Amino acid sequence: MAIFSRVVALVLFGLLAGAAIGVPTLKGPEGIDGPYTGIQAPGELDVAVDYVSQSEQVKLTFSTPAYVDMPIWVTLTFPEKYNGLQANLRYPFREYPWFTWGHTFEVMRDGKLLPPCKTSAMSPMAMNGLAGGSCAPSSSPKGRLPLHVFYRFDQPGTYQVRYVDKPLFPAEDTPTAPVLTSAWVTLEVKPYSIEDRKKWQQAQMAHPPTDPGLLVGDYLPSLLASPDETVLPAFVAMLHHPNTLVQGFAFNCLAYYDEPVLCQAVLDTLRKHGPTELLAYAMSWHRAALKPHGQELVDLLLPALTARDPKQASSAVRALGFLHGESEWGFTPELRQRIETAVLQAAPGMRALHDQETDNALACFLGTIKSDQSRALLRQMVGDGSEQALICLCGLADPRDLPRLGEILHAGGAHADVLPYALHHAYDEAALPVIIQTLHDSTDARLRRECAKELLYANRLEGFTYFRDLLAQPEPGEALFILRDFFPGQHNHQASAEELRALVDERIRQLGDQH
């Protein structure tokens, strides 16, 4: 059962997957000086020879010859009943080169299991989308995985390889033994000189593909066979690629280097091309290592605030928001004031770009400055319909804004449903009267539910009576999930409507006794 749910989830997705393209043909060295035609193996063979496992389950195919510190791609062929897995075997699955949704391998040499490659954590893993899904463009090669990304083949000799399907999130009460495996396959890895490898690397880098699918599905992962100083510029060059998947994948390729290398790549890219959203987040994720360069980062970012390119402007203000708001940078009050002044002066120009991402990033920054000027800008943005500005204006928690924010909540309309939580979080007890009034007067079911949820956490009778009425309906819907989260206890996440009703009634009785 370890892969059953993933197979079911992939059936429809697999049917909708884009048309597969052929895996680039492995050619001899005579083609390395021409346009990019796929990563080419060195050696004398023009036609690939295959090592194939004889397993009744998964068949592994390695194109040969295989060389030390060179790409080793393995093609997987699943039994017919696993056609969902087969259809969606499109690398990469996420922007993280090492992530495979549980498609794993074991490698032995001299009878001993080898450890997988170690990487430094480059960015928080964002797990979203369809379980088992792939982010690979339709032009990425299909049905294969880069074994060299998971293991280092830095010595010549005989290796044994097998495929093992492992559940990504194994349940505590399920067996850990893999359900789907291959037979052990013998792989001969031949010597290859450092000089020849560098020539091969330089030849590939001289003609990188332009297609994003080939960049993330072939070119960049193949260069990870030997992540050294020679191929580092290839990854750095893609940090400013117009395709965000290529940017993210290239950035995470730097996980195979030490953190100082990543920080230098961030600085070099910022100096040459200016900020991107990815670089902004990289500054936050690696602030400890980048702290000595904090002043330079500010100097590089400030000019981009007035860029006419919305992506540059939004990335600059987002990055400055991280630098300004994170105490670990250790900025002096004078430098923080310099950042605030520059953003406030640039704000009218950024607003004139009429770009939502720029407005959102600007609102987030303004929400950290408790000044009349930032309040005025946020109120103006709220008037223009900005949801992010509405949330950030609440975050300032200025008592002068509460009456206007209460009016917006009570009137309902667009974005009003974000206000119950934002107001309660910012103004605490002072926000409860307008939240209660909105619960009584509104005809918007979602808005009333959000008001009632905040009243639950404020321990107010009005919230519990609202949810008691919902539980009495034939289909209580989301009320079950809200109440299961609210009531403590290890078993309440599975509580029935009747059990939750008893808990709600008990709380209503307690609150009634208090009055």
How far is Cα 417 from Cα 439, in angstroms, rounded to an integer? 11
CA 401 to chain centre: 35
Cα Rg of the chain, angstroms: 28
**Candidate from 18-22, 132-136, 215-219, 231-235 with smallest mean pLDDT:** 18-22
Coil vs helix vs strand at 75: strand
pLDDT at 126: 55
Rounded percentage of the chain residues whose pLDDT exceeds 70: 83
* pLDDT bracket for residue 167 (50, 70, 90): low
How far is Cα 77 from Cα 27, in angstroms, rounded to an integer? 23
Predicted confidence (pLDDT) at residue 54 exceeds the cutoff of 70: no
Predicted confidence (pLDDT) at residue 442 exceeds the cutoff of 80: yes
pLDDT at 28: 31
* pLDDT bracket for residue 104 (50, 70, 90): very high
> pLDDT tens digit string along 180-224?
889 999 999 999 999 999 999 999 999 999 999 999 999 999 999
Please identify which residue in the block is written with the tokens 């062929």.
77
pLDDT at 125: 52
Domain-by-domain residue ranges, the chain?
Answer: 4-198
Find all residues with CB under 8 Å of 10, minimum gap 6, and list them. 84, 85, 87, 88, 130, 132, 133
Mean pLDDT, rounded, for 400-421: 95
* pLDDT bracket for residue 495 (50, 70, 90): confident
pTM for the model: 0.77
pLDDT at 121: 59
